[in-house]
Chain A
Amino acid sequence: MKRLTPYLLILPGGMWLLIFLVVPMVFMASVSTQEGDIVNGFVQTFNVSVYGEALAQYRTQFLRSVGYGLVATVVSVAMAYPMAYWIAFRGGARKSTYLLLVLLPFFVSFVLRTISWKFLLADDGLLLSPLKSTGLLPDDFHILQTTTAVIGGLVYNYLPFMILPIYVALERVDPRVIEAAQDLYASKREAFAKIVLPLSLPGVFAGVLMTFVPMTADYVNAGILGGPANTMIGNIIQIEYLTNQDYPVASALSFTLMAAMLIGIFAYARALGTENVLEAAAR
Chain B
Amino acid sequence: MTEIQAGTEGAAGAAATAPAPDSPPVPAIELAGVVKEYLAHGEVVQAVKGITMTISEGEFFSLLGPSGCGKTTTMRMIAGFEDPSRGTVRLHGQDVTDVPPNKRDVNMVFQSYALFPHMNVWENVAFGLRRKKVAAAEIKRRVGEMLEIVDLTGREKRRPREMSGGQQQRVALARALVNNPRALLLDEPLGALDLKLRQAMQIELKRIQREVGITFVYVTHDQSEALTMSDRIAVMNDGLVEQLAAPREIYERPATAFVAGFIGTSNLLGGTVDRVASGCAVLRAGDEGRILVAGDAHRAGDDVTVTVRPEKITISAEEPGGEVSAVRGTVSEVVYLGLYNSYAVRLADGAEITVFQQNALDSTSTAERGEAVWLSWQPRHSYAIGS
Binding site for B on A (CB under 8 A): 174, 176-177, 179-187, 190, 194-195, 198-199, 278, 281-283
Distance in Å: Cβ of A185 to nearest Cβ of chain B: 4
**B window 93-118: CB within 8 A of A:** 100-102, 107-108, 110, 112, 114-118
| Chain A residues, CB < 8 A from B176 | 183-184
Are A176 and B116 in contact, CB atoms less than 8 angstroms apart? no
Distance in Å: Cβ of A51 to nearest Cβ of chain B: 43
Are B102 and A183 in contact, CB atoms less than 8 angstroms apart? yes
Instruction: Tell which of B25-33, B127-135, B267-275, B325-333 binds the partner.
Output: B127-135
Are A174 and B131 in contact, CB atoms less than 8 angstroms apart? no
Q: Give the CA-CA distance A199 to B115 in the complex, in Å.
A: 13
Are A180 and B118 in contact, CB atoms less than 8 angstroms apart? no
Q: Give the CA-CA distance A190 to B179 in the complex, in Å.
A: 18
**B window 144-177: CB within 8 A of A:** 175-176
Are B131 and A185 in contact, CB atoms less than 8 angstroms apart? yes
Nearest-neighbor residue (CB-CB) of B100 within chain A: A182
Are B118 and A184 in contact, CB atoms less than 8 angstroms apart? no
Distance in Å: Cβ of B105 to nearest Cβ of chain A: 9
Are B128 and A185 in contact, CB atoms less than 8 angstroms apart? yes
Are B131 and A186 in contact, CB atoms less than 8 angstroms apart? yes
Contact partner of A177 (CB less than 8 A), chosen from B100, B114, B123, B131, is B114
Contact partner of A185 (CB less than 8 A), chosen from B79, B112, B123, B132, is B132
Q: Give the CA-CA distance A185 to B79 in the complex, in Å.
A: 12
Q: Give the CA-CA distance A179 to B127 in the complex, in Å.
A: 13
Distance in Å: Cβ of A192 to nearest Cβ of chain B: 13
| Chain B residues, CB < 8 A from A183 | 79, 81, 101-102, 107-108, 176
CB-defined A-B contacts under 8 Å, sample of 24:
A174-B114, A177-B116, A179-B81, A179-B114, A182-B81, A182-B102, A183-B101, A183-B107, A183-B108, A184-B127, A184-B128, A184-B175, A184-B176, A185-B128, A185-B132, A185-B179, A186-B102, A186-B127, A186-B131, A190-B131, A194-B127, A195-B116, A199-B117, A282-B120
Nearest-neighbor residue (CB-CB) of B133 within chain A: A185
Are A184 and B117 in contact, CB atoms less than 8 angstroms apart? no
| Chain B residues, CB < 8 A from A281 | 118
Q: Which of B115, B117, B175 has the most CB of A within 10 A?
A: B117
| Chain A residues, CB < 8 A from B81 | 179, 182-183
Distance in Å: Cβ of A82 to nearest Cβ of chain B: 22
A184 in contact with B114 given A179-B81, A282-B119, A282-B123 (CB within 8 Å): no
Q: Give the CA-CA distance A180 to B79 in the complex, in Å.
A: 10
Nearest-neighbor residue (CB-CB) of A195 within chain B: B116
| Chain A residues, CB < 8 A from B120 | 282
Q: Give the CA-CA distance A177 to B132 in the complex, in Å.
A: 18
A contact face: mostly helix, strand, loop, or mixed: helix
| Chain B residues, CB < 8 A from A194 | 127
| Chain A residues, CB < 8 A from B114 | 174, 176-177, 179-180
Q: Give the CA-CA distance A68 to B77 in the complex, in Å.
A: 51
Q: Give the CA-CA distance A275 to B84 in the complex, in Å.
A: 40
Are B116 and A181 in contact, CB atoms less than 8 angstroms apart? yes
Contact partner of A180 (CB less than 8 A), chosen from B100, B116, B179, is B116
Q: Give the CA-CA distance A19 to B237 in the complex, in Å.
A: 67
| Chain A residues, CB < 8 A from B110 | 176, 179-180
Are B118 and A278 in contact, CB atoms less than 8 angstroms apart? yes
| Chain A residues, CB < 8 A from B179 | 184-185
Q: Give the CA-CA distance A181 to B130 in the complex, in Å.
A: 11
Nearest-neighbor residue (CB-CB) of A281 within chain B: B118
Nearest-neighbor residue (CB-CB) of B175 within chain A: A184
A-B contacts at CB below 8 angstroms, number: 63
Are A177 and B117 in contact, CB atoms less than 8 angstroms apart? yes
Q: Give the CA-CA distance A180 to B102 in the complex, in Å.
A: 9
| Chain A residues, CB < 8 A from B117 | 177, 199
Contact partner of B118 (CB less than 8 A), chosen from A176, A186, A199, is A199
| Chain B residues, CB < 8 A from A283 | 123
| Chain A residues, CB < 8 A from B112 | 174, 176
Nearest-neighbor residue (CB-CB) of A176 within chain B: B114
Are B119 and A180 in contact, CB atoms less than 8 angstroms apart? no
Nearest-neighbor residue (CB-CB) of B103 within chain A: A185
| Chain B residues, CB < 8 A from A278 | 118
Nearest-neighbor residue (CB-CB) of B119 within chain A: A282
Q: Give the CA-CA distance A25 to B311 in the complex, in Å.
A: 85
Q: Give the CA-CA distance A179 to B110 in the complex, in Å.
A: 9
Are B119 and A179 in contact, CB atoms less than 8 angstroms apart? no
Given A176-B112, A180-B108, 17 extra CB contacts under 8 A: A177-B114, A179-B81, A179-B110, A179-B114, A181-B116, A181-B127, A182-B100, A182-B101, A182-B102, A183-B79, A183-B102, A184-B128, A184-B175, A184-B176, A187-B102, A282-B118, A282-B120
Quick one: CB contact mask for B59-81 with A, threshold 8 Å, 1 for yes? Answer: 00000000000000000000101
Q: Which of A176, A181, A185, A199 has the most CB of B within 10 A?
A: A185
Distance in Å: Cβ of B163 to nearest Cβ of chain A: 16
Distance in Å: Cβ of A278 to nearest Cβ of chain B: 4
Nearest-neighbor residue (CB-CB) of B79 within chain A: A183
Distance in Å: Cβ of A111 to nearest Cβ of chain B: 41
| Chain B residues, CB < 8 A from A185 | 102, 128, 131-132, 179
Q: Which of A184, A185, A194, A282 has the most CB of B within 10 A?
A: A184
| Chain A residues, CB < 8 A from B115 | 177, 180
Q: Give the CA-CA distance A210 to B274 in the complex, in Å.
A: 85
Distance in Å: Cβ of A201 to nearest Cβ of chain B: 9
Q: Give the CA-CA distance A177 to B110 in the complex, in Å.
A: 9
Are B123 and A179 in contact, CB atoms less than 8 angstroms apart? no
Q: Give the CA-CA distance A46 to B160 in the complex, in Å.
A: 55
Distance in Å: Cβ of B240 to nearest Cβ of chain A: 26
Distance in Å: Cβ of B123 to nearest Cβ of chain A: 5
| Chain A residues, CB < 8 A from B102 | 182-187
Q: Give the CA-CA distance A198 to B176 in the complex, in Å.
A: 22
| Chain B residues, CB < 8 A from A187 | 102
Q: Give the CA-CA distance A182 to B101 in the complex, in Å.
A: 6
